[in-house]
Amino acid sequence: MKWLILLLLILPSVTFVGLPSYFTNLGAVVDKETVILPSNITYIITIQNETVKPVVTTPTTTTTSNTTTSSNDPSNDPSSNTSYIHFYLKYCVISENNGFIQIKVKNNITNISTNPIAVQLYKTFKNATYNLSALEIPLNITEYPFLSKNLIFDNTYEIIDGNLTLTLSGFTRAVANLINLKNVSLYVFNDTTLSTKNTTFSGNVGLMKFGLLAEFDGTLNSEQIQIILYNYSNSTYNITLPKVKLAEDYNISYVYAALLNVSPYYNLINTGYTQIIVPYLYSNGITVAVIEHVRAVAEGSVLVPNLNGYYMSIQIGNYTQLLTPVIPDAGNATITYEGVKMSLLNETNITTPLGTLPVYTYLYKSSNSSNSTEYMFFTPSGMLIEQEAISGKYVVSELQLVSHVYYNSSQTVNALTTLPNTLPYEAVNPTLSLELAILVPAVIIFIVLLFYKKK
């Protein structure tokens, strides 16, 4: 399992442009979700021919009933503009089943060995077929360049989907003229990085309001490229999936205290809080977990960044692979949580900051030489109450549910903390908070071996 690694720093107050849309009405969950995907999309990839002085040309356009195209489509003749090399990139939705789509990608990229940028393109973009979850596509340019509108925020954040990480910051709104699409309203992120196992895109990204990539201007593995939307079909796939109704509300805030055993006295201390919200769980098992870190010491803004420097981390995937506060299969003989199979040990009652609760106890025992054991406690309705990691005879770390209160980025705190029944500070209006003259050294606490990948 993955460790919840918290970096707790004494930081100045931070204010964000806005909040994710589903935070504005927690508890209100619609029964289904629909996403509209264009069935055919074409882009022009442009790289500079470094041996020729640039000359800019402007294509003319014509409009048909389904698509808008350029009369001098540069993709038809990569050598038509001798200062640049142009390739086309096409995406076609072939089929859909239970929220999963099959995408066929085609291009005319050739391996121009004398041009290092073309070599990078040839290695990155393949004529291939991919299977994706239609409802949560994290702007994977090599497979399907789309970001669900549920994941577009005027904020600074990261999205993690398996081996793919997307980071977005520098949000603005803009109106742009593309190759043949005029006055297009875009959401623009001026500092974006998309990283997969072997590929990194970095630069400016412009998204159409329904989530389709309109333009990318930046680098591919340090080589400069530009990707511009050329056309997309009006024919679409309208994909709708019901959302699973859980016994516990999953569109509310779950705040966990992260406790760490500090040697040599083996006392559990509170190192911070983790706020998790799961807006929805689809019927095909795909879910989203929004994770934010809440400070444990005063004073400053309530939220603090993670180790990557982002205040909000969004994880996408099957619920069995993620850190999620609610699961639909509590009580089963075995469950899979964060990719790890755990066995039901017993049914018991435990005392928590929220009171004494009946729980199912699940056990994972490491097969390596570390002699480590992990216990997880879920209520019969599927809510994660506590997670406990033991090494030898000592509890080395705990994750403990302490509150359902939602804390946002505009709040500040003004009291030093300990672990109580609710969050241990009062949230105050930032404009009224006093500047305390307290010299507190920066606290950097890494919580290790709580949520780690067990092979």
321: nearest Cα among 451, 448, 450, 447? 451
Q: Quote the pLDDT of residue 155.
A: 79
Which CATH number does the domain 249-428 belong to among 2.40.360, 3.30.70, 3.40.50, 2.30.30? 2.40.360
When pLDDT is cut at 50, 70 and 90, the band that residue 30 belongs to is low
Tell me if 256 sits within 8 A of 401, measured CB to CB.
yes
**Adjacent-strand bridge partners of 70:** 61
Cβ 65 vs Cβ 269: under 8 Å: no
The set of residues, in sequence order, having a beta carbon less than 8 Å from that of 51 and lying 6+ positions away, is none
Residues 56, 59, 60, CA angle at the centre, nearest 5°? 150
Residue 20 is predicted with a pLDDT of: 43
Task: Write the DSSP assignment of 189-206 as a string of letters.
Answer: EEEEEEE-SS-EEEEEEE
How far is C-alpha 49 from the geometric centre of its chain's CA atoms?
36
pLDDT digits (tens, 9 = 90+) for 188-244: 999 999 998 889 999 999 999 889 999 999 999 888 899 999 999 888 888 887 777
* 6 pLDDT higher than 80: no
Q: For 74-105, how does the pLDDT look when each residue is reduced to its tens digit (9 = 90+)?
A: 444 444 445 788 999 999 999 988 888 999 99
What integer pLDDT is reported at residue 346 of this predicted model? 95
What is the DSSP track for 360-390?
Answer: EEEEEE-SSTT-EEEEEEE-TT-BEEEEEEE
The Cα–Cα gap between 416 and 297 comes to: 5
Distance separating alpha carbons of residues 197 and 310, to the nearest angstrom? 21
For residue range 167-177, list pLDDT tens digits in order. Answer: 999 888 888 88
- Running DSSP on this structure, what letter comes out for residue 430? T
Q: Is the pLDDT of residue 58 over 80?
A: no
β-strands 157-161, 312-318 pairing: parallel
Residue ranges per domain, the chain?
A: 32-241, 249-428
What local confidence, expressed as pLDDT, does residue 405 receive?
Answer: 78
Tokens 């950097």, located at residue: 444
- Rounded to the nearest integer, the mean pLDDT of the chain is 74
Say whether pLDDT at 423 is over 80. no
- Of residues 211 and 50, the one with the higher pLDDT is 211
Report which residue type is found at 255.
Answer: V
Report yes or no: 304 and 2 within 8 Å, Cβ to Cβ: no
Most confident of the following: 25-29, 40-44, 84-88: 40-44
Backbone angles phi, psi at 150, to 5 degrees: -70, -15
AA identity, residue 315: Q
* Dist. CA 221–CA 226, nearest whole Å: 13
Percent of the chain topping pLDDT 70: 71
> What band does 413 get if pLDDT is binned at 50, 70 and 90?
low
pLDDT band at 163 (very low <50, low <70, confident <90, very high): confident
Which residue did the predictor score with more confidence, 305 or 319? Answer: 319
Q: Confidence class of residue 42 from pLDDT cuts 50, 70 and 90?
A: very high
Highest mean pLDDT among 40-54, 249-263, 407-421: 249-263
What are phi and psi for residue 124, nearest 5 degrees?
-90, -50
- Neighbouring-strand partners of residue 191: 169
Gap between the Cα atoms of 189 and 184, Å rounded: 15
**What digits encode the pLDDT tens for the residues 438-447?**
212 222 223 3
Give residue for tokens 């040990």.
345
**Number of Cβ within a 10 Å radius of residue 454:** 17
Q: Are 281 and 319 in contact (CB under 8 A)?
A: yes
Spell out the alpha helix ranges (H) of 151-226.
Answer: none
Q: Minimum mean pLDDT among 19-33, 120-134, 223-237: which range? A: 19-33
pLDDT band at 431 (very low <50, low <70, confident <90, very high): very low
pLDDT tens digits for 351-387? 888 889 999 999 998 766 567 889 999 999 899 999 9
User: Over the stretch 334-357, which tens digit does the pLDDT of each residue have?
Assistant: 999 989 999 999 999 998 888 899
SS3 320: helix
What is this structure's pTM?
Answer: 0.75
What does the block give as tokens for 417?
């903390």
Nearest to 147, CA basis, from 232, 209, 228, 216 = 209
